[in-house]
């Protein structure tokens, strides 16, 4: 089983993905970490040195390389399903799961991570919230095309546990 976790930055794709993969006893792949390994630079550095267009090209290549892993949970970047034919490719390769979270949850999580996020640098709380609302509205039509949606009301849910129970039920593991 190959599971692609998609959703806005801060929705918990890496956090949930590690735990889900552990529970399902399969590999965990973090697309951003794979990109950083390939490029020898952080996502933030790639964005600042080579730009978003370059990053999206590399992201697409690395995404397609995950097809070599038949049993894996793959945490994708927030923009991954929104560019090229990435979403259709993922849907053809496995299950797509949208980790949805409201603006309040995302704002709280991302405020603590602003320095690590290339698109968020220097935003005060009001600008951060406005950015999240705008980008989420742009990206949500892509996210909603996922095979499964898991909505986090408070951000304290056991998303990995609940998703693992769901997948074990359909896979017979």
Six token digits for residue 17: 């993905």
Give the model confidence (pLDDT) of 20-48 as tens digits.
Answer: 999 999 999 999 999 999 999 999 899 88
Residue-level pLDDT at 170? 63
Cα Rg of the chain, angstroms: 15
Domains of the chain are 2-165 (3.40.50.300)
Q: Are 127 and 105 in contact (CB under 8 A)?
A: no
Report the pLDDT averaged over residues 59-82. 97
Q: Does residue 5 surpass a pLDDT of 60? A: yes
Q: What is the pTM of this model?
A: 0.94
Residue-level pLDDT at 154? 83
Within 10 Å of residue 141's Cβ, how many Cβ atoms? 10
Spell 50-86 as b/e; 16+ CB within 10 A means b: eeeeebbebbbebbeebeebeebbbbbbbbbbbbeeb
Q: Are 40 and 131 in contact (CB under 8 A)?
A: no
Residue-level pLDDT at 173? 47
Sequence-distant (6+) residues with CB within 8 A of 122 are: none
Q: Are 152 and 100 in contact (CB under 8 A)?
A: yes
Q: Does residue 57 surpass a pLDDT of 50? A: yes
Length of the chain: 173
Q: Are 146 and 96 in contact (CB under 8 A)?
A: yes
Give the model confidence (pLDDT) of 113-168 as tens digits.
Answer: 887 776 787 899 999 999 999 999 999 999 999 999 999 988 788 998 999 888 87
Residue-level pLDDT at 36? 98
Of the pLDDT bands very low, low, confident and very high (cuts 50, 70, 90), residue 172 is very low
Q: Rounded to an integer, what distance in angstroms lies between the CA atom of residue 62 and that of residue 55?
A: 10
Residue-level pLDDT at 117? 79
């Amino acid at each position: 089983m190959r599971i692609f976790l998609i959703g806005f930055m801060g929705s918990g794709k890496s956090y949930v993905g590690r735990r889900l993969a552990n529970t399902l006893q399969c590999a965990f792949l973090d697309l951003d970490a794979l990109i950083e390994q390939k490029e020898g630079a952080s996502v933030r550095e790639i964005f600042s040195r080579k730009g978003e267009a370059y990053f999206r090209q590399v992201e697409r290549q690395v995404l397609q390389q995950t097809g070599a892993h038949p049993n894996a949970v793959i945490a994708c970047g927030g923009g991954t399903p929104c560019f090229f034919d990435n979403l259709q490719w993922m849907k053809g390769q496995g299950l797509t799961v949208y980790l949805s979270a409201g603006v309040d949850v995302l704002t709280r999580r991302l405020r603590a991570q602003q320095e690590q996020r290339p698109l968020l640098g220097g935003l005060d709380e009001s600008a951060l919230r406005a950015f999240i609302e705008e980008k989420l509205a742009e990206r949500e039509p892509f996210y909603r095309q996922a095979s499964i949606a898991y909505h986090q009301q408070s951000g304290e849910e056991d998303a990995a546990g609940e998703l693992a129970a769901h997948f074990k039920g359909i896979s017979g593991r």
